[in-house]
Amino acid sequence: MPDLGEQFDALRQRGWTLCCFGAGKDFTGLGALIERGSYTDVLVVRSPESASAFGAMRVENGSPFLPDFVCWSLHGQAESIMIAALNIPDESKARPVFVRDKLCAIPASWPEPHILKPEDPI
């Protein structure tokens, strides 16, 4: 996987929460999220060739990593999607239109993520 450490550091500095799915040999992917009004911006890195960024509708007791509806989405190689995520404007006052996009959900086989909030020490 390309070294995305700088991009993840930049997301964290901008208030994003980082998530790691699995550890060691059970590692499955990386994620990040930040709440924006009625939705949550989410980043999922599955592999160097497969990543998604999207705005997930916030649902009580629902996971932003398994959205039923999204208001925007991007899919592509990890490095390109990370750069795009770093440039997402804060549209928290917008009233988004939500649509279904099954490419946004993480695989059902992924474990619960380990969470690193922006204020947590590394």
pTM over 0.75: yes
Q: How far apart are CA 38 and CA 48, in angstroms?
A: 30
pLDDT, one tens digit per residue, over 5-50 is: 888 888 999 899 999 998 877 788 899 999 887 789 999 999 888 9
CA–CA dist 30, 22 (Å, integer)? 9
Cα(86)–Cα(15) distance, rounded to whole angstroms? 11
Report in angstroms the alpha-carbon separations of 48 from 11, 75, 116, 121.
Answer: 18, 12, 21, 27
- In the three-class reduction of DSSP (H, G, I as helix; E, B as strand; rest coil), residue 61 is classed as coil
